[in-house]
């Protein structure tokens, strides 16, 4: 197991790549957009992305990012860690990640290092899966529309205009999104906006600023939508995130 600390500026992109080692993508500060061929996530410091070895992925920095990432050598198939997913980062998991990064490389022959690695794997396997994964369509027209929405989830562009720019009718794209992501297009866009809202709240933005930036007409409409999604208000969610 290896830990790596890197700092990136706003807009920096790690182009799509793959490696045989599994990776835990985490930022001590800042927000990242992590994409695989099948899904995309916005990743604030309250969560991380687990990418099994061999998973193609790319990472885009939203603002300055202090990345603290771990690489785990292949050690056989663990069914608990077989899929790419976003996980909630508890205080214990965060401190363990930062400790491994400070150590640099764990030596499997060292009993203390072996215990640290075992604890990390158990925490990752048992960690709560974070909501709001965005499955990505594969049809080129639908993918173009998805990328446009992800670039600016809160933009007020009409779906019909976005569809035209993507090279298909709105009805065609509605059919494609439902077939390929299992989400209606309108619900997919709403989830993209909620992803952005979660990242903004984790970064300290006010509820009002978050609501407007995410494309909601009023804070009250945003609060109602947020509570339907997470079961708590944005302010309550942020308080819980800060104590995890």
Q: What is the 3-state secondary structure (H, E, C) of 98-138?
A: HHHHHHCECCCCCHHHHHHHHHHHHHHHHCCECCCCEECCC
- Give the per-residue pLDDT at 128: 86
- Give the per-residue pLDDT at 108: 84
Q: Name the token pair of 203.
A: 């970064």
- Give the per-residue pLDDT at 129: 86
Q: Is 54 within 8 Å of 17 (Cβ atoms)?
A: no
| Closest listed residue to residue 182, CA positions, set 244, 221, 141, 133 | 133
Write down the pTM of the prediction: 0.83
Q: Name the token pair of 179.
A: 């077939």
All structural domains of the chain, each given as residue ranges with its CATH number in brackets, are 2-126 (2.60.120.280), 136-242 (1.10.10.60)
- Give the per-residue pLDDT at 75: 63
Geometric angle at alpha carbon 128, from 126 and 130, rounded to 5°: 145
Distance between CA 237 and CA 168 in Å, rounded?
A: 38
Distance between CA 230 and CA 237 in Å, rounded?
A: 8
Question: Backbone phi, then psi, for 119, in 5-degree steps?
Answer: -65, -45
Q: Please, which residues have CB within 8 angstroms of residue 107's CB and are 6 or more apart in sequence?
A: 113
Distance between CA 224 and CA 37 in Å, rounded?
A: 32
Q: What is the pLDDT along the chain (244 residues), one digit of tens a residue?
A: 999 999 999 899 999 999 999 999 999 888 899 999 999 998 888 889 999 999 999 999 988 899 999 999 876 667 778 889 999 899 999 999 999 999 999 998 999 999 999 999 999 988 888 877 899 999 999 999 999 999 889 888 899 999 999 999 999 999 999 999 999 999 999 999 998 898 888 878 899 999 999 989 899 999 999 988 888 899 888 776 655 5
């Amino acid at each position: 197991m290896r830990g790596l600390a890197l700092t990136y500026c706003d807009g920096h992109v790690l182009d799509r790549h793959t490696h045989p080692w599994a990776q835990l993508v985490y930022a001590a500060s800042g927000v990242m957009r992590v994409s695989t061929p099948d899904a995309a996530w916005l990743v604030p410091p309250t969560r991380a992305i687990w990418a099994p070895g061999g998973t193609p992925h790319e990472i885009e920095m939203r603002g300055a990012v202090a990345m603290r990432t771990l690489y785990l050598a292949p050690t056989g198939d663990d069914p608990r860690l077989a899929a790419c997913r976003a996980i909630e980062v508890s205080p214990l998991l965060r401190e363990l990640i930062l400790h491994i990064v400070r150590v640099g490389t764990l030596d499997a022959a060292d009993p203390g290092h072996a215990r640290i690695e075992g604890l990390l794997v158990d925490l990752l396997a048992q960690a709560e899966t974070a909501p709001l994964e965005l499955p990505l369509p594969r049809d080129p027209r639908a993918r173009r529309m998805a990328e446009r929405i992800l670039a600016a989830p809160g933009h007020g562009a009409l779906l019909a205009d976005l569809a035209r720019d993507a090279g298909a009718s709105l009805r065609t794209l509605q059919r494609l999104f439902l077939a390929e992501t299992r989400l209606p297009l309108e619900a997919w866009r709403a989830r993209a906006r909620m992803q952005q809202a979660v990242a903004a709240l984790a970064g300290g933005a006010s509820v009002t600023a978050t609501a407007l930036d995410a494309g909601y007409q009023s804070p009250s409409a945003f609060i109602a939508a947020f509570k339907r999604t997470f079961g708590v208000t944005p302010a309550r969610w942020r308080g819980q995130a800060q104590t995890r």
